[in-house]
Chain A
């Protein structure tokens, strides 16, 4: 399941639902990304390209399914305005054995960070500032290409 929404979600409830749906899997891994408290950021504002963003994420999931033995996968991504502590992204993967679930979840997060059509702004002292991608995110993504070659 892929869902991009401006409505806040509850990662615990989403994980419980995922585990129920993937009850026959031997391994379940999840990741939740949240708005961190850096002492200055008042809010995070994410935007996306409706339809295109979801289609791009579908290609990431398809690639993950080719590379690992995934039995189930869920990706939730927030857009709109979020305050400190609010979940931004939730990725859950299920497989027969742990390695596939771990690696697929890690891979999907790297793809979401660097190749998913989202744009992020921080609201600091009432002023919105665009957030640029970090070099370490690109390095994170590249290691999957390196692993394949």
Chain B
């Protein structure tokens, strides 16, 4: 089971979901593709500029591995201060 957290515009879809990821999901790209298929409205927000992902509270590179047991956060463009 992976925990997916949604921040910014992503939080319009949900704040948090827990999901059993299939073996085909191994990295950021395959996770994003999987969520685009299974979460309505996700693909449009994921395509916006400046979207970021963290895995277990570490800023994620594209090739970062993801899987069950991880906490993965999807963040739309930041706007603090």
> Which residues of A are in contact with B by a Cβ distance under 8 Å?
33, 46-49, 51-52, 55, 77, 88-89, 109, 112-120, 130-133, 137
CA distance A52 to B77 in the complex (A): 15
Q: A89-B81, A112-B81 are in contact. Are A119 and B57 (CB under 8 A)?
A: no
> Which residues of B are in contact with A by a Cβ distance under 8 Å?
5, 7-9, 11, 50, 52, 54, 57, 73, 75-81
Q: Are B80 and A118 in contact (CB under 8 A)?
A: yes
* Minimum CB distance partner of B73 in chain A: A49
Q: Are B57 and A47 in contact (CB under 8 A)?
A: no
Q: Are A51 and B57 in contact (CB under 8 A)?
A: yes
Q: Are B76 and A119 in contact (CB under 8 A)?
A: yes
- Determine the chain B residues whose CB is within 8 A of the CB of A47 once the complex forms: 7-8, 11
Q: Are A46 and B80 in contact (CB under 8 A)?
A: yes
- Determine the chain B residues whose CB is within 8 A of the CB of A133 once the complex forms: 50, 77-79
Q: Are A120 and B79 in contact (CB under 8 A)?
A: yes
